[in-house]
Amino acid sequence: MAHIQVLRAGIPDLKFFGNTFVGIELAERIPKGLLVAGYNHKTEDVSSHDRWIELMLRSRGVKLEYSPYAYQAAIGESVPGRKLTDIVQETIRLSSGPVVINYHFAERDGKQDQVSYLPNKFGRDIRQVIHLHCSSEIYGRKFVDGRVVESRDNKLSRQLMRALERGDVDKFIAVSYQVKASYSGIIPEEAIEVVQNGISEETYAYREEADKEALKRQFGIRGKFLVGYCGRLDHKKGAVDLIEVIKWFNGHPEYDVGFLIASTKGDVLDTFEPQLNEQAQRMIQERRVGLIVDAAKYFTNVKKINEGTEAIFRNHIEANLRPQCSLYRGVSPVPLQTMVDTYLLPSHFEAFGLSALEAIFTGTPVVAYRVGGLPELIQDPVSGTLVEFRTNEEERREELARAVVKSIEQNYGLHGNIDKTGKRKMVREEMVSQFSSRVMADKTQAIYEKL
């Protein structure tokens, strides 16, 4: 049996970190795995593709191929990279059994012209799986002026159900029990397996306090305690809530806190700095807020980072990010979560909460809203604090800010006089036993083999 993890976004992908790297981990840890990264062959610069193919092979042991795999558009055109059909055909020829295709972007690959194409061409030589990274409800919601507008039209869920009925899809894999439950009444329960996301325990290693202290000072963000956030700066991810929390600390100088943020995308990125300059001027003037690019997932081991690859991220910052926001401080080859004292996740929707798991692995407590799959991760005060997601925005944001203070106070003491490193290490070991990428890969492989 061979398997292909198909990513709609290319590598490097600075927007959809989560599902992209679930695909990479599965390609790395399940034997006979191949990673196919889709790209827009009409607009995307392909000059760095060879470099990333080499990096994935050398750093992760993953064979990466680029494909302009919008099937109809790529047929008959002369473009860099092989068509997905050609890649699948060769894999079938070299494999001793059916090839499993695992799509990691249901919102695009669940459409009939995408998901039916390979079964029509190869029949039962392939089996197809779709990863469900989001709750079904999110596809019936949209944001208008920063607010959620409910819609009765959940077109994607209906498309997925029809794909199952046609036999185009053999199984769905939900990243949390909450995601599976959200499809109740849409997709039969027996068609969905739950495999909670896992991450690399090597990349997200536990850091002793002395190491963490050295790491968190490298970007020059002031504050005895650093609060971190990693993700898109948009409304779904709670970017406005993040701004309001920073604003709250701006008005409470008695707390010696700074914010380190890893982000490269988002509909609030353009206005992020102006809003902080207006609402949290002290925090900006005292250099208590900074943005970085967290490139740790690409390297797994800092020794394997090369100057040429790092330059891609630096160039991206200078050309694309600094013009939007002057608060960028550089590129980090180690995870943001290892450099902060408390990890803040203000998302309004989280199917699983991969970045929260990354924080717990590094020994950093999490503060988040009680949404989605996060209660499956955070069940202990040492691992984190969950705040109820209230409809009153002002109340919930203040509660989120006070939860950050409480987390710092409980885990470190406001004067640094409390040491709970032993307890955080124990929680980390328990989480690794349940949520490592090895556990995720073993469960996924078992599903593949049943197909």
Range of the domain at 61: 2-198+436-450
Q: Are residues 215 and 251 in the same domain?
A: yes
Q: Are residues 224 and 184 in the same domain?
A: no
What's the CATH number where 308 sits?
Answer: 3.40.50.2000
Which token pair is 430? 């328990």
Q: What is the pLDDT of residue 188?
A: 93
Q: Are residues 354 and 380 in the same domain?
A: yes
Reported pTM: 0.88
DSSP-derived letter for residue 146 is: T
Which residue stretches of the chain have pLDDT < 70?
A: 13-17, 70-78, 138-153, 299-309
First to last CA, the chain: 10
Q: Are residues 122 and 78 in the same domain?
A: yes
Beta strand pairing call for 99-103 and 328-332: unpaired
- C-alpha distances out from residue 181 to 186, 189, 338, Å: 10, 9, 33
Q: Are residues 430 and 440 in the same domain?
A: no
Q: Are residues 38 and 150 in the same domain?
A: yes
Residue type, 254: E
Note the pLDDT tens digit of each residue in 381-426. 788 999 999 889 999 999 999 999 999 999 999 888 888 888 888 9
On the 0-12 / 13-18 / 19+ scale of CB atoms within 10 A, 23 is buried
Q: Are residues 352 and 266 in the same domain?
A: yes
What CA–CA distance (Å, rounded) separates 86 from 90? Answer: 6
Q: Are residues 240 and 372 in the same domain?
A: yes
Q: Are residues 237 and 271 in the same domain?
A: yes
What CA–CA distance (Å, rounded) separates 262 from 217? Answer: 15
Q: What is the pLDDT of residue 186?
A: 85
441 assigned to some structural domain: yes
**CB-side neighbour CA atoms (13 Å) of 351:** 24
- What count of other Cβ atoms lies within 10 Å of the Cβ of residue 86? 13
What CA–CA distance (Å, rounded) separates 300 from 222? Answer: 28
373 assigned to some structural domain: yes
What CA–CA distance (Å, rounded) separates 312 from 147? Answer: 35
390 and 449 in contact (C-beta within 8 Å)?
no
The structural domain count of the chain equals 2
Which token pair is 236? 């779904």
Q: Are residues 224 and 234 in the same domain?
A: yes
204 assigned to some structural domain: no
33 and 100 in contact (C-beta within 8 Å)?
no
Q: What is the pLDDT of residue 143?
A: 47
